[in-house]
Structure 1
Amino acid sequence: MTTRRDLLKLGALAAAGAALPSFAAAQAAMANIPKADKPLNILILGGTGFTGPFQVAYALARGHKVTTFNRGKRPSLEWADQVEQLSGDRITGDLKSLEGRKWDVCIDNPTSLPYWVRDAGKVLAGNVGHYLFISTISVYADGSQHGIDEDSALAQYAGQDAMAETWETMRANMELYGQLKALSEAEAHKQFGKNVTIVRPGYIVGPRDETDRFTYWPKRIAEGGEVLVPGDGEDPIQIIDGRDLGEWMIRLAENGTTGVFNACGPDYTLTMDAAMHGCHAVTGGPISYTHVPMEFLEKNEASLPIWVPRAGSPYSGYGTVSNARAIAAGLTFRPLATTVADLLAWYRGLPAERQAEVRAGITREREAELLKAWHAQHPA
């Protein structure tokens, strides 16, 4: 099952976003989207990672003006004539390209450290009308609690100086991840006042997901044969397509919606078995499932992504986080089949060596070993 260490490690991969689906194709898919009533001038901090390009494509389709700010390591040539691209480095505090500028909206995608928000506030406070911050459900103090909502208690910082924390210190102590995100939220309110929107996603999936957290399952199911499925199949999981998240962020900006929202999906209870069969409905082919309990997996030190048991784990509540407030604020979800089909199409366009990597889950060889051991203990 996924641990907090996995969340940080894989989250860093998600930010990498090295393989890009065609931006032109994304724009073509949005050709019939109506223009917004009022064009906005939008600043996106980040913008070239996982969800950022979906925000950009949707914002442009809606008729908004877009500026991105990042280190410039992955400038997008595909939107070069449509988007203003500013360079700087929030790690070192180089925000000079933002000075003396005004935007209607700022969307902060990559921040995990409070000093990034503080430094952005020094330059942008008073120069942006609305600040939207992507946080995480890891901010909650008790991840084992079912029915977590936006008013649940947040993790409390246990370090010495939050503003001195860095990526290196956070990697050295993964428990700081949620704590520092929570403090980043607080810093957002301190710097930008009441015009703040906090969005707390769970697992973000779909095309451009470099972590393979969810990709492991449709990829594995497409290969067919006997599939090891953790738990009894009834454990709930929550995922959101990065496109649904990115597009909703733009709609929140258009509506001037403030507040705190859990961006978890879908809008029904999705069990592990339902997800497996949903993937198979897209991939087809002969397949069988073998359910293996948490105790066996823990004993054999086997970690399967996305899944958490509905009891017995400090993260059991991650499958039942309340998304009612977000849905009321306009969050919608595309069908699981669409996410799976588009994800596989994107993944199969990656270089062969990348497809051969296993960034989450287990190898086929390891799966075969585990299945053999399980069947030996539980003969038919």
Structure 2
Amino acid sequence: MLGGTRFVGRVFVEEALAQGHQVTTFNRGQTGQDVPGAEVVRGDRENGSDLLALVQGREWDWVVDTSGYVPQVVGNAARLLSDRAGAYVFLSTISVYPGWPAEPVDEDSAVYDCPPDAAGTAEDEANWSAAQYGAYKAGCERAVQEAFEGRVTVLRPGVILGPQENVGRLTWWLRRIAQGGRVLAPGQPAKQIQPVDIRDLTAFTLSCLQRGTTGAFNVTAPRGHATFGEMLEACRTVTGSQAEFAWVDDAFLVEHDVRQWTEIPLWRTPLGTWEVGAAAAAAAGLTCRPIAATVRDTHLWLTETNGPLSYGRQAHHGLSRQREHELLEAWDRC
């Protein structure tokens, strides 16, 4: 596991260990705590000497990469690992499609044309534009595919929610709704959404490895799986809140320059946002639990822990109470 201390990587390591696998994690030890039971190798994937120390005297059945952002960096590691491991799973993103979110996408949609040796550092990843993030991930996919020559599974999730989430999406909604009062809810409650639970993503990843499944897969819940209203109602239920939802039209929010996707987490108006084709993953074994279960278990995790580890993108998410109040006052005057 390249990574393995926070969110996707951490949950994967925990589940792999629970299933009886032996797991080695390779990371800097700076952004999270190691999972008990895993072999820990300290190192920076951007450092060639650290990579050489990782592979010295070790071999693995599989590599799972949840921390790759820069194509050149990903390619360097993949080439060193190519004769030390049987297969490679790369965690990519739905953002590799330049057409998304403006239009629906599936695995046949065009991806960014980014060279597999594009250079840079992942240090500022939290501040990249969506286009740079998506393009670099596409370049990373190519770097891994060149190194492992057909022994690659590329996973392109959309929104990942669930316990350990550190981005600040569902966690923000849970905390805001728990505070009660009048809550600004965006658009229409019947708006469909397609987030995937981190545990379902992890189970699918392990299944692909165990079955030898390769190829590229969009990993989202199927269309029609849940609605925005169902997600917020589940938040209200698990928090025991008396919050009142004020559903505000998309056009009004756009007119008032509300930042989509971040200022109101998970809200976006482009038609393709929640129109991601994921039939290939479903056919390969992906199953998705109800959104209410994701909300319930995320709330349980939040109440039993100190919440997510610090991560740069957290600061980008959520309305301030003052901004929410001002918007609701303006909406009431309409």
Is TM more than 0.5 here?
A: yes
Cross-structure match for 1:306 = 266
Cross-structure match for 1:204 = 160
Matching of residue 360 in structure 1 with residue 317 in structure 2:
yes
Match 2:244 to one of 288, 304, 322: 288
Deviation, structure 1 residue 57: 1.8
Instruction: Quickly say closer, same or farther: Cα 1:174–1:330, change in 2 above 3 A.
Output: closer
Name the SS for the 1:317 alignment partner: coil
CA distance in structure 1 between the partners assigned to 2:97 and 2:257 by the alignment: 26
User: 1:307 corresponds to which letter in structure 2?
Assistant: W
Name the SS for the 2:45 alignment partner: coil
CA distance in structure 2 between the partners assigned to 1:372 and 1:334 by the alignment: 37
Q: Identity across aligned pairs (percent)?
A: 39
Cross-structure match for 2:301 = 346
CA distance in structure 1 between the partners assigned to 2:253 and 2:117 by the alignment: 36
Post-superposition Cα deviations, 1:34-57, rounded to whole Å, max 9, x if no partner, equal xxxxxxxxxx11111211222122
Tell whether the 8 Å contact from 1:235 to 1:308 is kept in structure 2 after alignment: no
CA distance in structure 1 between the partners assigned to 2:309 and 2:90 by the alignment: 31
User: 2:107 corresponds to which letter in structure 1?
Assistant: E
User: 1:163 corresponds to which letter in structure 2?
Assistant: A
Cross-structure match for 1:35 = none
Name the SS for the 1:282 alignment partner: helix
Cross-structure match for 1:52 = 9
CA distance in structure 2 between the partners assigned to 1:111 and 1:125 by the alignment: 16
CA distance in structure 2 between the partners assigned to 1:358 and 1:75 by the alignment: 18
Instruction: Quickly say closer, same or farther: Cα 1:366–1:352, change in 2 above 3 A.
Output: farther
Deviation, structure 1 residue 74: 5.5
CA distance in structure 2 between the partners assigned to 1:255 and 1:352 by the alignment: 34
User: 1:325 corresponds to which letter in structure 2?
Assistant: A
Instruction: Quickly say closer, same or farther: Cα 1:307–1:353, change in 2 above 3 A.
Output: closer
Cross-structure match for 2:63 = 106
Post-superposition Cα deviations, 1:101-128, rounded to whole Å, max 9, x if no partner, equal 2111000111011012211123111211
Instruction: Quickly say closer, same or farther: Cα 1:85–1:96, change in 2 above 3 A.
Output: same
* RMSD, aligned CA: 2.6
Matching of residue 234 in structure 1 with residue 234 in structure 2:
no
Q: Would you say how many aligned residue pairs link Structure 1 and Structure 2?
A: 324
Tell whether the 8 Å contact from 1:197 to 1:257 is kept in structure 2 after alignment: yes
CA distance in structure 1 between the partners assigned to 2:80 and 2:174 by the alignment: 44
Cross-structure match for 1:249 = 205
Deviation, structure 1 residue 224: 2.5
User: 1:371 corresponds to which letter in structure 2?
Assistant: L
Match 2:112 to one of 149, 155, 160: 155
Tell whether the 8 Å contact from 2:74 to 2:144 is kept in structure 1 after alignment: yes
Deviation, structure 1 residue 78: 5.3
Name the SS for the 1:260 alignment partner: strand
Matching of residue 84 in structure 1 with residue 44 in structure 2:
no
> Any residues of structure 2 matched to 1:1-380 within 5 Å, and which?
44-73=1-30, 76=33, 79=36, 82-93=37-48, 94-100=50-56, 101-157=58-114, 163-167=118-122, 171=127, 173-265=129-221, 268-302=224-258, 303-309=263-269, 313=270, 316-351=271-306, 360-376=317-333, 378=334
Deviates more, 1:53-62 or 1:182-191: 53-62
User: 1:143 corresponds to which letter in structure 2?
Assistant: W
Tell whether the 8 Å contact from 1:141 to 1:156 is kept in structure 2 after alignment: no
Post-superposition Cα deviations, 1:124-162, rounded to whole Å, max 9, x if no partner, equal 1121111100000000020145441111111234x9x95
Deviates more, 1:84-93 or 1:292-301: 292-301
Deviation, structure 1 residue 277: 2.2
Name the SS for the 2:267 alignment partner: coil
Tell whether the 8 Å contact from 1:98 to 1:123 is kept in structure 2 after alignment: no
Cross-structure match for 1:40 = none
Q: List, as ranges, runs of 4+ consecutive aligned residues in structure 1 with deviation greater than 4 Å.
A: 74-78, 350-355
Tell whether the 8 Å contact from 1:196 to 1:259 is kept in structure 2 after alignment: yes
Tell whether the 8 Å contact from 2:24 to 2:39 is kept in structure 1 after alignment: yes
CA distance in structure 1 between the partners assigned to 2:242 and 2:129 by the alignment: 43
Tell whether the 8 Å contact from 1:137 to 1:201 is kept in structure 2 after alignment: yes
Unaligned runs of 5+ in 2: none
Instruction: Quickly say closer, same or farther: Cα 1:148–1:73, change in 2 above 3 A.
Output: same
Name the SS for the 1:332 alignment partner: coil
